[in-house]
Homo-oligomer: A and B are copies of this chain.
Amino acid sequence: MSLERISSTKVFDGRQEQYRHYSQALDCEMRFAIFLPPLSERMEKTQRFPVLYWLSGLTCTDENFSQKAGAQRMAAELGIVLVIPDTSPRGDDVPDDDGYDLGQGAGFYLNATQDPWKRHYHMYDYVLEELPALVEDNFPVTDRRAIAGHSMGGHGALVLALRNPGRFTSVSAFSPVANPISCPWGEKAFSAYLGTDRSSWEEYDATVLLSRATETQPILVSQGEDDEFLETQLKPGALEAAAEAAGYPVKVEHHAGYDHSYYFIASFIEQHLRFHADYLLKPEG
């Protein structure tokens, strides 16, 4: 699989880069961003870092988190690689929709089964398998992975982790779409991508998956109380209720006064990175 580097910029002594590659899972050309922490001089040839995958929300590309979250400062300090995929397949040949919440920029981290989406819209497979394989083949990383995201990407992070215990050391989400089968964003997207059989939707709903989980993993959720989508789209209360009913220890933090924007993410990304570092950097065994 060939990777083409399209930008490389020094930041916090590390490098923020963008790459283009052909994705088999998505059947189109894709771009992703990666932050590589500074290598210590002593270990330049052998040093490898664990990876945090960041999944962005509706309308985003790889650039929003890269430019606005301020995550590189702490990732450089802790020694964590950040990998930031795009939010959907892209291109003139890829089906799209006029709405911001369906089609390009709105892949919902699932594998579509319905026309016209089913050829390209396989973000679940892309983020779970293809992108990590590519990253692990081409960059100085270990096979320790954590996953995090915002809004639609918080949904993606929770779903990917809950369906694949052991694949990620830890998962965190800012303002996730926590119960998509019962909110307008989820109902619109899942109807289009997965069809009318609602039982097929449950495999992509963090609240349902958590209530069925047979083993636990570390989960941190941060939610702003002034988030304009809190009640209509995000529904963290459903996730909390399912966790309580299942006896699943999920840490959900509610922050007074914060909204849905990247200013909220910037304010708490250090906490999320330190949370993941506790698991990513723990000695093996």
Residues of A within 8 A of B (CB): 9-13, 16, 67-68, 70, 72-73, 224, 226, 257-259, 261-264, 266-267
Question: What chain B residues lie within 8 Å of A257 (beta carbons)?
Answer: 10
Q: Which of A10, A262, A267 has most B Cβ within 10 Å? A: A10
A224: chain B residues at CB < 8 Å are: 10
Q: Which of B11, B12, B16, B263 is close to A10, meaning CB atoms less than 8 Å apart? A: B263
Instruction: Provide the residues of chain B in CB contact with A267, threshold 8 Å.
Output: 10-13, 73
Pairwise interchain contact A10-B266, C-beta atoms closer than 8 A = no
A268 CB → nearest B CB, Å:
9
- A10 x B258 contact (CB < 8 A): yes
Contacting pair B72 A266 (CB below 8 A)? yes
A10 B226 Cβ-Cβ under 8 A:
yes
User: Known contacts A9-B261, A12-B266; can you find 4 more A-B pairs with CB under 8 A?
Assistant: A11-B266, A11-B267, A67-B68, A70-B266
Report B-chain residues with C-beta under 8 Å of the C-beta of A11: 263-264, 266-267
Q: Which of B10, B67, B263 contacts A264 (CB 8 A)?
A: B10
> Could you tell me the distance between the alpha carbons of A72 and B12 in the complex, rounded to whole angstroms?
17
* Residue in B closest to A66 when the chains form the complex, CB atoms: B263
The complex places the Cα of A226 from the Cα of B11 at a distance, in Å, of 12
B10 engages A262 (CB within 8 Å): no
Contacts of A262 in B (CB 8 A): 67
Cα separation A262 to B224 with both chains bound (whole Å) = 27
B263 touches A9 (CB 8 A): yes
> Do A263 and B70 touch across chains, with their CB atoms under 8 A apart?
no
Q: Which of B16, B226, B261, B263 is the one whose CB lies under 8 Å from A263?
A: B16
Chain B residues closer than 8 Å to A12, beta-carbon distance: 266-267
